[in-house]
Structure 1
Amino acid sequence: MDALDQQLISLLRRDARMSVANLAHKLTVSRGTITNRINKLEKQGVIVGYAVQLRPDAIPNNIRAWMSIVVAGNETRVVVASLLGEPGVACLHDTNGRWDLLAELRAENLSQLSDVLERIRLIRGIQTSETSIHLASYR
């Protein structure tokens, strides 16, 4: 994948329903280029569904981490809305037990992950959190 593929994927992850014309305009390339790139990414299995879901190994230099979050009081809606607006949050799950939310985080490097963690820790309504870096998947 080259830089254009990565930019295209980034836009589709934010809005998988964005039109080819709008994608082409944002990336300053032709609609045909966008269509060809999307078809190639689908054929290679990089894009496996819509909303766009990427294979974990499709972006080799990507760091994945899991953040378990306890929400203070009745702040769940505010916290969820803030986390959904955070670009470093790939997925957000409601859960039971010790933690209220589980966020899958993505970053290109440890410095970027540190920035994501810092932004999340500043969100009003997060009482406590614990983060673990994803090392390997077995299935």
Structure 2
Amino acid sequence: MDDLDARLIDLFAVEPRIGVLEASRRLGVARGTVQARLDKLESTGVITGWGPDLSPDALGFPVMAFLTLQIRQAVADPGAWRGGHHAVAAHLAEIPEVLEAFTITGDGDMWVRVVARSNADLQRVIDLVLTDPAIDRSTTVIALASQIPHRVLPLARSASG
């Protein structure tokens, strides 16, 4: 990534509807250069999408929590229950309130960010998560306030220089 890539990312992050032609005018480069850079940033996985950022709170899910899961490891016997991180991740992907899941080091095996409509609804979401027999145990912490929302733009700005 160079300075032009960083300026291009910054411009589209601030004004996602700007368009390639206007971006080329503002950056002082050819339209083809902007399009080629955007194509390269997409093909290399730097830009992962162009969709709108959604607010779970505005969608009616103001409660956010983080679950730490302890997972039984997979069993090789085909007649036995399934297990392991990939199977649990597939289970979690079926639950709409699960926003993210990460395999982690430390006291747990997987960290899961979930949302719910209320604290009572959070119990329903946790119960859904725990229906997978590969999950041995879980702990939950509820987020009280967001201090720094998910962001990558400052990282992109620092990566170019």
Same fold (TM over 0.5): yes
1:119 aligns with 2:131: no
Size of the aligned set, in residue pairs, is 93
Q: Which runs of 4+ in 1 moved over 6 A?
A: none
Q: Equivalent pairs: percent with the same residue?
A: 25
Indicate the structure whose relative CO is greater, using CA pairs within 8 Å and at least 6 residues apart.
2
**Structure 1 residues 68 and 50, CA, compared in 2 at 3 Å: closer, same or farther?**
farther
What CA distance in whole angstroms lies between the structure 2 residues aligned with 1:98 and 1:57?
29
Normalised to the residue count of structure 1, the TM-score between the two structures is: 0.57
Residue 138 of structure 2 corresponds to 129
Normalised to the residue count of structure 2, the TM-score between the two structures is: 0.50
What CA distance in whole angstroms lies between the structure 2 residues aligned with 1:110 and 1:119?
15
1:54 shift after superposition: 2.9
**Structure 1 residues 56 and 83, CA, compared in 2 at 3 Å: closer, same or farther?**
closer
Unaligned runs of 5+ in 2: 1-15, 18-48, 75-82, 149-161
Residue 80 of structure 2 corresponds to none
1:122 shift after superposition: 1.6
What CA distance in whole angstroms lies between the structure 1 residues aligned with 2:100 and 2:121?
17
Residues 60 and 117, structure 2, Cα contact 8 Å, conserved in 1: no
Residue 88 of structure 2 corresponds to 79
What CA distance in whole angstroms lies between the structure 2 residues aligned with 1:94 and 1:88?
18
Q: Which has the larger radius of gyration?
A: 2
For residues 75-129 of structure 1, what are the alpha-carbon distances to aligned partners after superposition, in whole Å with 9 as ceiling and x for unaligned? 2221110011111211111211211111001111122211111111121200111
1:137 shift after superposition: 2.5
CA RMSD of aligned residues (A): 2.4
Greater shift, 125-134 or 73-82, is seen at 73-82
